[in-house]
Structures are given as structure tokens and as C-alpha cells.
């Protein structure tokens, strides 16, 4: 289950773009970053992205949309993993 598809689509696209930004950063620095600025990543209007954990081998982030503040979408790569999601590099929604 997830929020209105208009907002969910934007959030999921941003998180998939974050995966690409983290992988590009990893290729240069052999580690992931917890800084959106280091990644040169800007979320879409209305979307807030927070990288909760980043290390040399894993990262996880969450995102919300201003129009659906009680829904959270998370994504992870490597050993970092939220309890709500099991599939690496795939957005997973939960109600907050």
C-alpha cells in the first residue's frame, strides 16, 4: 500500500535517482555518502530525502512528500536495511 500515485511516483523516482547518485559517488570514493550535497542530489519540489546511514559498504534513506506527510518511502543498498523492506535498491512504503 502507498499514497496517491501522483506523489508516490515522484518520491520513488527521486529515490531511484539517489541510488544512481550513490553508485556514482561510490565509484569515485569507494564508499557511500550521507550528504546530498556531496552527491550533488536535489530532490523534487515537495520531496524531503534523508540519508539515515552511509558507510563504505551500505546506505539507507527515507523520503516523504509534502502532500502525503504520513507516508514514508525507504530504500537501502548493502547491509543497511529497514525492517519494512527486504528488496535492495527498491523503494518500499509504510504509513507513519
Angle at 76 between CA 74 and CA 79, to 5 degrees: 140
- The Cβ-side half-sphere exposure at 9, using a 13 Å CA radius, reads 3
Number of domains in the chain: 1
pLDDT for residue 40 is more than 60: yes
How far is 54 from 69, CA to CA, in rounded Å? 24
Lowest mean pLDDT segment, chosen from 1-5, 12-16, 21-25, 77-81: 77-81
Kindly report which listed range (13-22, 53-62, 74-83) carries the lowest average pLDDT score.
Answer: 74-83
Q: Which three cell numbers stand for residue 4?
A: 496517491
User: Containing domain of residue 18, as a range?
Assistant: 5-95
CB 13 within 8 A of CB 73: no
H runs (alpha helix) in 1-96: 5-29, 36-39
Question: What pairs with residue 51 in β-bridges?
Answer: 61
Amino acid at each position: 500500500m502507498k499514497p496517491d500515485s501522483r506523489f508516490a511516483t515522484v518520491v520513488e523516482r527521486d529515490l531511484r535517482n539517489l541510488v544512481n547518485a550513490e553508485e556514482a559517488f561510490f565509484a569515485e570514493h569507494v564508499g557511500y555518502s550521507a550528504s546530498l550535497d556531496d552527491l550533488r542530489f536535489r530532490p523534487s519540489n515537495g520531496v524531503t530525502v534523508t540519508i539515515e546511514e552511509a558507510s563504505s559498504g551500505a546506505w539507507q534513506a527515507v523520503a516523504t512528500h509534502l502532500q502525503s506527510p504520513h507516508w514514508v518511502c525507504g530504500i537501502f543498498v548493502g547491509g543497511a536495511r529497514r525492517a519494512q523492506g527486504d528488496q535492495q535498491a527498491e523503494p518500499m512504503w509504510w504509513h507513519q
